[in-house]
Amino acid sequence: MRFLLSYGVAFLLLLGIGGWMASGYLVQGGQGPGNGETQVLDAVDLPGADKAKDLMTEFGMIESEEDAKVAEAAAAEEAAAEEEAAAELQSVRTQTFAVQQLPLTVTLRGNTKAKATVSIRAETTGILDERHVEKGDVVKAGDLLCTIDAGTREARLAQAEAALEKAKSDFETNEKLRAKDFASANSAAAYESALKSAQAQLDEAKAELDRTKIYAETGGIVHDPIAQVGDMLSAGGACVTLVQLDPLVFVGDVAESKIDAVQIGLPVTVKTVTGREIEGKVSYISPTANSSTRAFPVEVELPNPNNSIRAGLTAEASAVLGNVPAHLVPQSVLTLDNEGTLGVRAVEDGKVVFYDVEIAGDSQEGIWVTGLPNSVDIITVGQEYVVAGQAVAADNVSEETTS
């Protein structure tokens, strides 16, 4: 009885040790798990080891070879699925953009002003007897503006006319006497001189009387200052002031970086704050820059035949300097690379490329940029999730949308 008990205890100990050994692996060559691993029971050569292994397999204490192969196949399939998922390409949406000609313009901000302000002045002294225009009247060259009291000028004119008639009579009498030798030949010079002097005095008297009528030397609109009836005007005193609005002048400043592109005669479109648009040409470019702004004053002459555009209006002028090749793209496609460079991501031969761009202008339709190939497939959706050099699956939607 004691004999059977000893063998039973030994058998149970053998089973426990065998189970512990069978649950582990022997690693040969230091290759790590999955490389050179062998179950301990397969590595040792003990009597009854095969039977112990079969018994442990039957009781589920260790894996059978078939179960191990199934588990290994499942692990390989799972690893393949993971590799396939990792190799799946990132999907992006692209749109083809073609180069276009962008008008290169320079913009000036300023205001309109009168071409000139002219004071119509008296040429003689006298009291203003009548003013024939009022403020706001539009006059043209040759219109009568003011009349100065003639005073004694008409009397002096009559006196000069009488003196001229007497001088003519004396000259003719002397001429007849000389013809009959009743007067010396050299006496003709004195009478001729007297005749010329009388004629000059008459011409001066007429001119002085004419000076009492003041006419417009140019067209314009009557503006302050103007003289009032009864005012004493001296020679050089202003009768009325005329503002010339045809042509009108736009005055603006051009930045020094663009002044070389502006030339005399350059066509310019001026838009006033009231919404009026007028076509004109550059008529003057200042040779010196404004000391505070470093910009150059420029004048544009504008036709204003009806004086419908007033002076002093805030306005903006734009001049087309030429065309530059550029692409019109949505603002949303602009992005930055890792160095902070502004550009766009595009797809070329199935891979992402990054193009540096410079902004050339903007519009309601998008942003004008330069630095791209003539035709480029820009990523419009998904550009923030890819990097340059990455292979992607691109879906081009250019045929579905209007670029």
* pLDDT (0 to 100) of residue 288: 94
pLDDT digits (tens, 9 = 90+) for 36-63: 555 544 544 445 445 555 555 555 555 5
DSSP state of 391: B
Q: What are the residue ranges in the chain where pLDDT is below 70?
A: 1-68, 80-87, 399-403
Q: Which domains does the chain have, with CATH numbers?
A: 2-78 (no CATH), 91-102+324-396 (2.40.420.20), 150-211 (1.10.287)
The pair of structure tokens assigned to 260 is: 């070389």
* pLDDT (0 to 100) of residue 378: 95
* pLDDT (0 to 100) of residue 402: 42
C-alpha dihedral sign at 139, 140, 141, 144: negative
Name the pTM for this structure: 0.55
The b/e string for 83-99 (b: 16+ C-beta within 10 A; e otherwise) is: eeeeeeeeebebbebee
Residues 69 and 282: beta-carbon distance below 8 Å: no
Average pLDDT, the chain: 83
Distance (Å, rounded) from C-alpha 74 to C-alpha 64? 15
Helix axes 49-58 and 2-22, enclosed angle (nearest 10): 80
Distance (Å, rounded) from C-alpha 284 to C-alpha 301? 9
* pLDDT (0 to 100) of residue 190: 87
pLDDT digits (tens, 9 = 90+) for 342-377: 999 999 999 999 999 999 888 888 999 999 999 999
C-alpha dihedral sign at 131, 212, 143, 312: negative
